[in-house]
């Protein structure tokens, strides 16, 4: 029997639901700012919203794929964490702008990705 634990299945559902909730907030914000012609990726706050949305989309896909029984669910979680780290660091480093001080709230996507990956790795370990 290759059934996953109940805790791991619940974690995948929570992962997908939280990601959908984040996208339910961030996509209308992006659309509204875009329609008002005030969404610019050169602005740090707009880049943060874009990274947050991309992270939520990525983890929604990973969570749904895990729920549906994708064999390499651990690998996809690790890749999603690495991609989130690269997106976050890349968005905070702008080539054409002076480096401003960045507060810790801009690292929320990386913290979320690391926590989710660590929790799913803990719940999915071999006994």
Residue 19 to residue 90: CA distance in whole angstroms: 21
Check residue 126 and give its pLDDT.
Answer: 66
Write out the chain's pLDDT in tens, 127 residues.
356 788 888 888 999 999 999 999 999 999 999 999 998 888 888 888 999 999 999 999 999 999 998 888 889 999 999 999 998 888 877 655 556 666 778 788 888 888 888 888 888 776 5
Residue 76 to residue 80: CA distance in whole angstroms: 6
pTM: 0.82
Check residue 56 and give its pLDDT.
Answer: 94
Residue 89 to residue 56: CA distance in whole angstroms: 16
CA angle 41-107-88, nearest 5°? 45
CA within 13 Å, CB half, 118 = 6
Contact 92/102 with Cβ under 8 angstroms? Answer: yes
Check residue 1 and give its pLDDT.
Answer: 37
């Amino acid at each position: 029997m290759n059934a996953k634990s109940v805790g791991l299945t619940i974690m995948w559902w929570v992962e997908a639901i939280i990601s959908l909730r984040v996208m339910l907030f961030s996509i209308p914000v992006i659309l509204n700012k875009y329609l008002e012609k005030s969404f610019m990726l050169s602005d740090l706050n707009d880049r943060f919203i874009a990274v947050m949305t991309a992270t939520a989309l990525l983890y929604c896909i990973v969570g749904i794929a895990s729920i549906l029984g994708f064999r390499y669910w651990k690998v996809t979680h690790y890749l999603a964490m690495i991609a989130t780290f690269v997106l976050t660091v890349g968005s905070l480093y702008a080539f054409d702008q002076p480096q401003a001080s960045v507060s810790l709230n801009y690292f929320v996507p990386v913290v979320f990705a690391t926590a989710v990956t660590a929790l799913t790795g803990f719940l999915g370990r071999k006994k």
